[in-house]
Amino acid sequence: MSNPLISPSRAESASGPFLFAVEQAGMETRVTASHRHARGQLLGAMRGLLSVGVDNQQWVVPAIHAVWIPPYRAHSLRSHGAYSGWSVYIEEAACALLPTEPCTIRMSALLREAVKRAAGWHSDVLDEAQLRIAGVIVDEIRGLPRERLGLPMPEDARLQRIAEALSRDLADNRRLEEWAAWAAVSPRTLSRRFVDETGFSFAEWRQQARLLRALEMLATDLPVTTVALELGYDNVSAFIAMFKRALGTTPSRYFQSYEETAAPARGTSAGPDDAAA
């Protein structure tokens, strides 16, 4: 059943409840161009994988994670494989104690259940019980652990050339010194500025880029061996070892775990940004 309160301008409105949520179940790919909301937005997947572009960063959102986007931050969306998802929109005043920068958080069962409850509300006025649930959602956003599932781009034009070239071909295994020569920058400057501008060393940045691309590819049911080879790994064992170091489990168990922990869709309303597409 559709939520009668969802409209294209609702995420921009200061009227109505200070928090509302929407869900959508579907099999189609979702692509939303860059846009922004007056409200803060927490978004995630119930099934599949979502990529979120925010400023000069790229984030991935499997169902065991969610991305927080503060009010007025431009962002774009793209799903990978069959996808169903949800969003929570929070008025600007209620975001004062929430993160001021976009971030990825690890979902909890409590947050997931609270969002499901909120997605079923059909009133512009929250009663006492609903206000308590809304408060739980806000508290969970504040308190849940942050995860490093984002990939910031460097600002230096020379480093951007390297990052863009690597993003086009993540199987390119040239060493730092070779990339430095290609971009006409000293290896020492390249190494230092990558850390200063992205928070990652060059090797860490490349591994993070490969990890995020791997998640996108695996979400479309590509075999692990195919993903490993397309990302430049000599063998599947090396790829699985990297994946396990980064995320604590193997690719097959990772995706199995998020399918198991994701609650089934409750046949609703609007997708992550249908409320203000």
Tell me, what CATH number does 244's domain have?
1.10.10.60
Judged against a pLDDT cut of 50, whether residue 272 lies above it is answered with no
pLDDT given at position 261: 47
- Between 201 and 269, the more confident residue is 201
What percent of the chain is modeled with pLDDT above 90?
53
pLDDT given at position 228: 95
Residue 176 and residue 83 in one domain? no
pLDDT given at position 220: 81
- Between 62 and 246, the more confident residue is 246
Last residue within a domain, chosen from 124, 149, 174: 149
**Is there a contact between 77 and 31 (Cβ–Cβ < 8 Å)?**
yes
pLDDT tens digit string along 126-159? 999 999 999 999 999 999 988 877 888 898 999 9
Residue 164 and residue 211 in one domain? yes
This prediction has a pTM of 0.73
pLDDT given at position 62: 74
Q: How many domains does the chain have?
A: 2
pLDDT given at position 254: 78
Range of the domain at 248: 154-259
Residue 71 and residue 99 in one domain? yes
28 in a domain, yes or no?
A: yes
**Over the chain, what is the mean pLDDT?**
84
pLDDT given at position 26: 67
**Is there a contact between 151 and 193 (Cβ–Cβ < 8 Å)?**
no
- Comparing CA positions, the residue from 159, 150, 266 lying closest to residue 212 is 150
238 in a domain, yes or no?
A: yes
Distance, CA of 72 to chain centre: 17
The rounded radius of gyration (Å) of the Cα atoms in the chain is: 20
